[in-house]
């Protein structure tokens, strides 16, 4: 019998995580299937054997098997055990090296194709939008947070001249600091600056560590909303490949810092957008060490850390930042949606510079009512329960989407296996033009993100990014089937 001992799950001791251990077992089996270690029709290890290998109870393992059965990944056979469904087909994994892709070292952001007409189309309510930058609306606690917004507005009416500091609502800043502390980051409320949106926070971070004409190192593929800020500041990008399975190569990172005058690195190492991968702690530690040696700032885009599918607390580059060279940029949009997506900056060494910029602009604090509403909602004590629900449901939706993609997309495709977030990254055959495919999909009222959107040089022409946070219903299955047919054309 094939042994899977090298894929054992870590033993989590926290009782808060215990109720979610079955998800860890289910995720492990999904990884085995994705890697081809267990093939369609193969029998899974018995409940007793799986319990021995993982260290979890037989009840937990059986719960995991039942979850996979409900999602159609495995099937139970009386008096025989659980088997991988024969309809389940594993798509190829991304190779360990980047042979299929050459990233330009120095490139102009102007090469990125215009998708203005697609963006307008994707915003229509009648679209099935796999191209959205945000979590599906049905996962957002709209009613509860709106109730807190009404409460905050009434407070503003009663106290119209109540001053707020330009750095934002003090209570919410304290909440951010406390949540960072749970991830091993030393932060105080006074270290945090709130802004109205993620793009604004990124631009403030860029303004403190770069000047026009500077060179910045960015991942590729990357979080494309930051590209506009690079163009406006006339910053020169150097791309570094972020592998869909392993993330950045620390040796390549060190080489690029050594041979280029890099003013800042912009990285998203936790639940990376769009691959969904999370860099290992050893990689995080090495990246910070390299940047520290070269005196290079890191801007960490920390948007989706709270959307990990597994229950453990997400790590962060800032955790290893003893020299204070990492600027963290985060947002509540992942859990509360874009409307209440108050963003924040954690940068103790540049706090004064950021505040001086805000004061010189005569900036008002971000929407104070929204900041108070977010703070009130979180302080009710239901936010963490809400996040647990999101992570559990999101994990199911993403796994179900990956399962269908494995069954219906051409066998020449490769697909990422996200550790968190709602995106997956798909490489199609070399003849597929994803930009043309996106325009064709729009005719069917389907939004898909072309791969070239995620690179300042327009790389990844045969790749797709898909948001799988929408309900895993028959309608979504039909729309993914249409996307599969477009790839085959």
Interval 235-273: pLDDT, tens: 999 999 999 988 999 999 999 999 999 999 999 999 999
pLDDT at 364: 60
pTM given for the model: 0.81
Question: Is there a single domain that holds both residue 241 and residue 313?
Answer: yes
Interval 151-179: pLDDT, tens: 988 887 887 766 778 899 999 999 999 99
Task: State which of 365, 381, 397 marks the end of a domain.
Answer: 381
Contact (CB, 8 A) for 371 and 365: yes
Provide the CATH number for the domain around residue 347: 3.40.640.10
Question: Is there a single domain that holds both residue 50 and residue 130?
Answer: no
For 300-347, the three-class secondary structure string (H helix, E strand, C coil) is EEECCHHHECCCCCCCCHHHHCCCCCEEEEEECHHHHCHHHCCEEEEC
Does any domain span residue 102? no
Question: Is there a single domain that holds both residue 351 and residue 374?
Answer: yes
Question: Is there a single domain that holds both residue 152 and residue 300?
Answer: yes
Report how far residue 404's alpha carbon sits from residue 176's, in angstroms, rounded to the nearest whole number.
Answer: 37
Does any domain span residue 104? no
Confidence of residue 111 (pLDDT cuts 50, 70, 90): very low
Confidence of residue 448 (pLDDT cuts 50, 70, 90): very high
pLDDT at 110: 42
Does any domain span residue 45? yes
Interval 267-315: pLDDT, tens: 999 999 999 999 999 999 999 999 999 999 999 999 999 999 877 789 9
Residue 231 pLDDT greater than 90, yes or no:
yes
Quote the mean pLDDT of the chain.
86
Higher pLDDT, residue 380 or 67: 380
Confidence of residue 93 (pLDDT cuts 50, 70, 90): low
Task: State which of 338, 365, 381 marks the end of a domain.
Answer: 381
Provide the CATH number for the domain around residue 13: 1.10.10.10
Question: Is there a single domain that holds both residue 133 and residue 70?
Answer: no
Does any domain span residue 92? no
The total of structural domains in the chain comes to 3
pLDDT at 353: 92
Provide the CATH number for the domain around residue 437: 3.90.1150.10
Residues whose CB falls within 8 Å of the CB of residue 309, separated by 6 or more in sequence, listed in order: 23, 27, 391, 394, 395, 398, 418, 419, 420
Question: Is there a single domain that holds both residue 327 and residue 428?
Answer: no
Question: Is there a single domain that holds both residue 131 and residue 53?
Answer: no
By residue range, what is the domain housing residue 207? 143-381
Task: State which of 348, 381, 414 marks the end of a domain.
Answer: 381
Report how far residue 489's alpha carbon sits from residue 480's, in angstroms, rounded to the nearest whole number.
Answer: 15
Residue 243 is given by DSSP the state: B
Among 347, 345, 340, 313, CA closest to 329: 345
Sign of CA dihedral 364, 337, 307, 421: negative
Question: Is there a single domain that holds both residue 267 and residue 400?
Answer: no
Mean pLDDT value of segment 379-384: 90
Report how far residue 422's alpha carbon sits from residue 409's, in angstroms, rounded to the nearest whole number.
Answer: 19
pLDDT at 90: 55
Residue 366 pLDDT greater than 80, yes or no:
no
Does any domain span residue 469? yes
Question: Is there a single domain that holds both residue 129 and residue 161?
Answer: no
pLDDT at 436: 94
Interval 411-429: pLDDT, tens: 899 999 899 999 999 999 9
Residue 74 pLDDT greater than 80, yes or no:
yes
% of the chain surpassing 90 pLDDT: 61
Report how far residue 257's alpha carbon sits from residue 285's, in angstroms, rounded to the nearest whole number.
Answer: 16
pLDDT at 102: 42
Question: Is there a single domain that holds both residue 371 and residue 481?
Answer: no
Question: Is there a single domain that holds both residue 121 and residue 164?
Answer: no
Report how far residue 402's alpha carbon sits from residue 406's, in angstroms, rounded to the nearest whole number.
Answer: 6
């Amino acid at each position: 019998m094939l042994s899977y001992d090298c894929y054992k799950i870590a033993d989590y001791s926290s009782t808060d995580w215990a109720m979610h251990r079955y998800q860890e077992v289910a995720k492990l089996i999904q990884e085995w299937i994705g890697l081809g270690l267990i093939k369609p029709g193969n029998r899974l290890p018995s409940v007793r054997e799986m319990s021995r290998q993982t260290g979890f109870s037989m009840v937990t393992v059986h719960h995991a098997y039942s979850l996979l059965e409900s999602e159609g990944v495995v099937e139970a056979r009386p008096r025989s055990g659980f088997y991988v469904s024969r309809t389940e087909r594993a798509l190829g994994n991304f190779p360990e090296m980047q042979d299929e892709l050459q990233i330009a070292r120095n490139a102009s952001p102007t090469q990125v194709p215009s998708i203005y007409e697609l963006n307008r189309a994707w915003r229509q309510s009648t679209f099935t939008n796999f191209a959205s930058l945000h979590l599906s609306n049905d996962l957002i606690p709209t009613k509860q947070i709106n109730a807190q917004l009404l409460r905050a507005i009434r407070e503003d009416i009663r106290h119209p001249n109540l001053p707020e500091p330009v750095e934002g609502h003090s209570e919410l800043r304290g909440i951010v600091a406390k949540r960072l502390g749970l991830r091993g980051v030393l932060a105080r409320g006074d270290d945090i600056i709130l802004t109205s949106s993620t793009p604004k926070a990124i631009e403030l971070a860029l303004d403190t560590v770069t000047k026009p004409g500077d060179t910045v190192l960015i991942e590729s593929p990357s979080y494309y909303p930051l590209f506009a800020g690079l163009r406006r500041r006339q910053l020169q990008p150097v791309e570094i490949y972020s592998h869909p399975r392993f993330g950045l190569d620390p040796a390549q990172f060190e080489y690029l810092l050594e041979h280029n005058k890099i003013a800042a690195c912009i990285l998203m190492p936790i639940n990376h957008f769009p691959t969904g991968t999370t860099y290992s702690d050893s990689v995080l530690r090495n990246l910070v060490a390299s940047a520290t040696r070269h005196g290079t700032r890191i801007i960490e885009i920390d948007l989706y850390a709270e959307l990990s599918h597994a229950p453990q607390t997400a790590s962060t580059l800032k955790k290893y930042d003893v020299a204070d060279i990492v600027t963290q940029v985060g947002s509540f949009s992942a859990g509360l949606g874009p409307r209440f997506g108050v963003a924040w900056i954690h940068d103790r060494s540049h706090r004064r510079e950021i505040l001086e910029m805000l004061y010189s602009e005569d900036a008002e604090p971000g929407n104070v009512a929204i900041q108070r509403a977010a703070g009130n909602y979180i302080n009710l004590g239901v936010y963490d329960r809400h996040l647990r629900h999101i992570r559990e449901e999101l994990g199911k939706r993403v796994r179900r989407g990956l399962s269908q993609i494995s069954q219906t997309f051409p066998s020449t495709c490769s697909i990422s296996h996200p550790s968190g977030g709602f995106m997956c990254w798909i490489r199609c055959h070399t003849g597929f033009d994803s930009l043309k495919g996106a325009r064709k999909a729009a005719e069917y009222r389907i939004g898909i993100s072309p791969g070239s959107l995620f690179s300042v040089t327009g790389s990844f022409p045969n790749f797709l990014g898909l948001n799988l946070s929408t309900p895993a219903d028959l309608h979504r299955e039909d729309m993914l089937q249409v996307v599969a047919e477009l790839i085959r054309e």
